Structure 1
Amino acid sequence: MANELRGDIQGLRAVAVLVVIAAHAGVPFLRGGFVGVDVFFVISGYLIAGLLYREVLLTGQVSIGAFWARRARRILPAATLVTVVTVLLSLAWMSLVDAREVVVDALWACAFAANIRFAQQGVDYFATIDGVGPSPLQHYWSLGAEEQFYLAWPLLLTLCLVVTALLAKAPDRRAERLPRRAVLTMLAALTLASLLWSVHATLTSPATAYFSTLTRAWELGVGAMVALLPPPFLRRLTRLSLEIMAVTGVVVLLAACMLISEDTPFPGIAAVLPVAATAMLIVAGGPADVPGRRTRTSRVLAVAPMRVVGDWSYSLYLWHWPAFVLAPIAVGRALTGFEKGLTVLVVITLSAYTYRFVEQPFRAGRPAHRLSARRRALSLYPASAALVAVTAAGAWWWTGFQGGEHGDNPPITVAGAPIDGLQDSTEALVRASVAAARAERAVPSNLTPDLLNLRSSIADVGDCDYEDNVRSLCPHGDGDQTVVVVGDSHARAWIPAFDRIVAAGDWTAYYLVKPQCTAAHVTIASLGSDQPFTDCTDFQRWVVDQVDALHPELVVVASSPPVNGVFEGDKRRTAVGDIVPLLRGGYDDLFRQLGRYAGRVALIRDVPKSPDDPATCLTSGNPSLGDCMFEPVERSTVLGDVAVDSAYASGIEVVDPTPWLCYQGECPTVIGGTLSYRDTDHITTEYAANLWAELGNALTMGLPS
């Protein structure tokens, strides 16, 4: 049975948090150290399941309120402290836009639902994408998953009690009518279902699978099953078998830390390694009531320094991630190895003090005695939420005040700009905006969209969100002519322009767009792994089938280059020189197939990509327009040329939006009074809508003059 006082368990916690910190610090031979989180999950399942089952044996029931009260004293004080401090430091060091994102993350974190938020956002746990760094509260996803388990497990155990009592027709003898076999059977079924779902989801939706409670529940379930192993079975294990099991557990866990990497599909089947290793190490600790059965490994894990680090492990986990995320932002560059070492020392110091003055008092000190009553302890939940909410409200107001719509800086106009007779066209305004940026003019006030809400400027796709593997058609408009827009999120960014074209002309539009799914008929890698993005391949085939069925007058293709490489057979190619011929063949095939079923096919050249996030630039310090103007990323430009070359060779029309965004190789992030980009490579919905007439005329869609 689980015993919370086992020293080897504390030592195992120390190992888990140390390898997590090492991985996040960039230690090269421990790239897979993030599996320490999986170790924590198994330990948590082991301790909590054993605790509750013992309660059932002693009292015949589960006191859900008392259990949640204990969890409140254990989890909330330190988590709340770190959340509040992280929000305040984010205000001091991050851009206003990024700080606002942290404020929202804090609210999700205090509700123990951070994993849901990051899964919904499709966050890639392993990567910094498009210049936008990870949230300093991203690690709260694991607390969310654990707390959701803590919510479900006592309820499941209570349900098992009730069902057993009803079947036995003896509700007054529930403790005797709940054999281990019944609970283990329930756990085994749920654990297996979660594991199978984890394997499936990791392959089909890796970005969301990493954070999902459903893909992680089996890890806690394994720990719970270990806690319920019958004592007679444990006593029959020989000393030699326990020693072998312990050594095997160490080897497997070390292999997981060294061999698993950010390129490994995870959790999925790969997570079996750290989970199985942890289970073996826990079992090898030996039954607590049989002296002299401890293995050498368990004795090493239980030495005093390891127990101390294990005691601090919760605080170490809470502090290390915001330290690694915020420190580079504070100094304005990546940390050196020496600076990372200093950061770790700061984290250790903060953790020691947090354990001593925050965690321990709420466990065994005066606050714990005052909160000994269940109702008082449960009040920690609303108290924590209120403190975080007040901090978030203040932070939200502060970012709004700092980046608010005050000031009288005028928008950019064409007056006095080098427009060369272009008059009041979009190209003239772009040239004027470049000239204003070169002159280091102040950023205009009252921008559209609102600067602090820039990242939410994403086109609405209605009911047909193909990111969620929808397979139906949603028409927009009721005109006699049909236009189908095909591509990824870059095609989606043009939807506001097409919506206005549809409203002004005689068109019905279908937006067959799937984020991260390049339009070219190539097999690309999933964003969060080195595995093929099979959903994308399936979607590409489905799109061709729909174009065949619709026989539209016009198909418009808009797509970015693949972000994470292209497969040639079973090999993933990431170098530009290797991608170009594969991508060219994919576009040739796309245009050939579309040309069979559509009256016309046109390509919108991919928009220039910025090396830095414009939202971060425009809300950091007091930038001028020139500080945030950019030159396009060369790799994106080269790969964008591939689609253009294929289109010309296939007799496909090409619309180049570059003059609507850039002039003489420079691209302003503010054009007139409108923000042109919401991130490094997506135009805003507002600016796309402004371009509807230019786009419609370039595509010769017969718009009224």
Structure 2
Amino acid sequence: MVVFYHARAALAGWMPAEALGVFGYGYLAVDLFFMLSGFVMWLNYGPKLRASGLAGAPDFWWRRVARIWPLHAAVLLALVGFVAVLLATGRDTAGYPLGELPLHLVLAQNWGFTDALSWNHPAWSISAEIGAYVLFPFLVLALRWENLPRAVLWALVGLLALALWAVFAALGASSLGEEISRLGLVRCVLQFAIGMALANLWRLGGGAWLPGLFGAIALAAWLAAGWGEALLVPLGFAGLLLALALSAGRLARLLGSRPLEWLGDVSYATYLIHFPLFVLAKIALADELGADEAARVSPLGFALYCAVLLGLSHLAYTRLEKPAQGLLRRWRPGRGRAAVPAE
């Protein structure tokens, strides 16, 4: 959805308007990602951090850096090479401010230090995720999440969504996609915490139909009213995510199939690579300019772009992400070879 969201303007010449309208909501997939991230982090690390306390935080932080930083650094290095070509040919480099490059290198570009997205735009959410990772051990220890009753966990989900809506409303933002440089970090952290609550609801078990119905109603209310995106969309996603996690039927088997599992494996690489690759694709494949001077890409050109993107994503995952992740996890500073194998 994020890929189609960023590509939609270039597809306007042939993509149906209804599809373009759906892709226009693709930015909301990032919100689902934030929730899913909190869900997965709790399942993988919550009990461990509960047992070790803050003494286990450095190991958690290092393992998360090992997971996300190597590929980010590689894509950023490729963009530096691209900017060097732009400079050598006298082209505009306003979207790649050199003074902000150190912030991007350490993934702090979305912590309130910049006013606009630059370099690899989608990496803003990875910067926000780093902020959530920093806070995660403290969030784990702040509450006995695993001992909270079901009603309290649902109330916590509602309060976190309400807090997100209140922050956006106070700053005059009606859409979750607005003011990313200013609101992206709080958008991530609050929905990450919702994901932590959902993981503990999942541990309690139960049927999938009730949270699924709740999620569907919340999203339908948002679409019907055209209001309350920062409140109703997180609540809708929360219900649907929990319903899917609890589901054991045909849909669950489909979502657990090998092709979709592979797409999940390579999705981080797809997310980081797709934006700069599409910049190159528009340069290479654009066949005309619209009235808005936006480059149009033909159906064949877009199919070629998607094929190259998935191929590069697979190579990045197998040849860069996994080897670098294993290497860094085995050699954490101050510890030497780690006793815990790479996941």
Q: TM-score range by the shorter chain?
A: 0.7 to 0.9
Residue type at the aligned position of 1:306:
L
Q: More deviation in 308-317 or 198-207?
A: 198-207
Task: State the distance in 1 between where 2:4 and 2:146 align.
Answer: 42
Which one of 165, 188, 193 corresponds to residue 163 of structure 2? Answer: 193
Letter in 2 for 1:282: L
CA distance in 2, matches of 1:138, 1:84: 14
Distance, in Å, in 1 between the alignment partners of 2:185 and 2:329 is 33
Q: 1:64 aligns with which of 30, 33, 57?
A: 57
Instruction: From the superposition, tell whether residues 178 and 254 of structure 1 become closer, same or farther in structure 2 (CA, over 3 Å).
Output: closer
Q: Secondary structure of 2:315's partner?
A: helix
The answer to whether residue 150 in structure 2 is matched with residue 180 in structure 1 is no
CA distance in 1, matches of 2:55, 2:200: 16
Q: What SS does the corresponding residue of 1:35 show, helix, strand or coil?
A: helix
Q: 1: CA distance between counterparts of 2:201 and 2:168? A: 24
Q: 1:111 aligns with which of 106, 110, 127?
A: 106
Distance 1:253 1:315, change over 3 A: farther
Q: Whole-Å Cα distance in 1 between the matches of residues 218 and 302 of structure 2?
A: 28
CA distance in 2, matches of 1:86, 1:377: 32
**8 Å CA contact retained: 1:41, 1:220:** yes
Preserved contact between residue 194 and residue 238 of structure 2 (Cα < 8 Å): yes
Which residue, out of 270, 273, 276, partners 2:229?
270
Which has more helix, going by share of residues? Answer: 2
In structure 2, how many angstroms separate the alpha carbons of the residues matched to 1:37 and 1:149? 14
Q: Does structure 1 conserve the Cα–Cα contact (< 8 Å) formed by 2:212 and 2:243?
A: yes
Deviation at 1:65, TM superposition (A): 0.5
Q: 1:187 to 1:286 in 2, by over 3 A?
A: closer
The amino acid across from 2:7 in the alignment is A
**Which residue type is aligned with residue 301 of structure 1?**
L
- How far the C-alpha of 1:219 sits from its partner, in A, is 1.6
* Mapped contact 2:66–2:325 kept (Cα < 8 A): yes
Tell me how far apart the structure 2 counterparts of residues 322 and 210 of structure 1 sit (CA, whole Å).
23
The match for 2:80 is: 87
Alignment partners' CA distance in 1, 2:194 and 2:202:
15
1:303 aligns with: 257
Q: Which residue of 1 aligns with 2:43?
A: 50
Contact 2:157 2:235 in 1 (8 A): no
Secondary structure at the aligned position of 1:212 is classed as: helix
Report the alpha carbon displacement of residue 112 of structure 1 after superposing the two structures with TM: 1.7
Q: State the shift of 1:353 in Å.
A: 0.3
**Secondary structure of 2:39's aligned partner:** helix
Quick one: structure 1 residues 273 and 355, their matched pair in 2 at CA, closer, same or farther if it must change by over 3 Å? farther
Is the CA contact 1:35–1:271 (under 8 Å) kept in the aligned structure 2?
A: no
Please point out which of 281, 289, 297 is paired with 1:336.
297
Which of 1 and 2 has higher RCO (CA within 8 Å, sep 6+)? 2
Structure 2 equivalent of residue 220 of structure 1 = 192
Residue correspondence of structure 1 range 99-498 to structure 2 within 5 A? 101-116=96-111, 120-121=114-115, 123=116, 135-158=118-141, 160=142, 180-181=147-148, 192-203=162-173, 206-207=178-179, 211-229=183-201, 231-232=203-204, 234=205, 237-238=206-207, 242-243=208-209, 245-246=211-212, 249=215, 269-286=228-245, 294-329=248-283, 334-337=295-298, 338-364=300-326, 367-368=327-328, 370-371=330-331, 375=335
Cα distance between partner residues in 2 of 1:22 and 1:210: 24
Q: Distance in 2 between matches of 1:196 and 1:188?
A: 12
Residue 59 to residue 211, structure 1, CA distance change in 2 (3 Å): closer
Q: Residue 3 of structure 2: which of 21, 44, 56 is its match?
A: 21
- 1:57: Cα distance to partner? 4.6
Q: Secondary structure at the match of 1:23?
A: helix
| Residue in structure 2 matched with residue 525 of structure 1 by the alignment | none
Q: Which runs of 5+ in 2 are unaligned?
A: 9-18, 290-294, 339-343
Q: Note the C-alpha offset of 1:308.
A: 0.5
Q: Distance in 2 between matches of 1:36 and 1:157?
A: 25
Q: 1:229 offset after TM fit, Å?
A: 2.2
Q: Max radius of gyration: which structure?
A: 1
Contact (CA 8 Å) 2:162, 2:231: kept in 1 or not? no
Paired residue type of 2:103: W
How far apart are 1:191 and its partner, in Å?
Answer: 5.6
| Structure 1 counterpart of 2:93, one-letter code | D
Amino acid at match of 1:371: W
Task: Classify 1:39/1:286 alpha carbon distance in 2 versus 1 (closer, same or farther; 3 Å).
Answer: closer
Q: Does structure 2 retain, via aligned residues, the 8 Å contact 1:87–1:106? A: no
Please report how far the alpha carbon of residue 319 of structure 1 lies from its aligned counterpart in structure 2 after TM superposition.
0.4
What do residues 465-486 of structure 1 show as CA deviations (whole Å, max 9, x unaligned)? xxxxxxxxxxxxxxxxxxxxxx
- The Cα shift of 1:281 comes to 3.1
Gapped regions of structure 1 (runs ≥ 5): 1-18, 124-133, 162-176, 288-292, 379-705
In the TM superposition, residue 92 of structure 1 has moved relative to its aligned partner by 1.9
Tell me the amino acid that sits aligned with residue 144 of structure 1: S
Identity %: 25
The whole-number CA distance in structure 2 between the counterparts of 1:49 and 1:90 is: 39
**Is the partner of 2:96 in helix, strand or coil?**
helix
- Looking at structure 2, the residues matched to 89 and 356 of structure 1 have their Cα atoms a distance apart, in angstroms, of 24
In the alignment, residue 179 of structure 2 is paired with which amino acid?
A
Question: Cα distance, 1:375 vs. partner?
Answer: 4.5
Per the TM alignment, residue 228 of structure 1 is displaced from its structure 2 partner at its CA by: 2.1
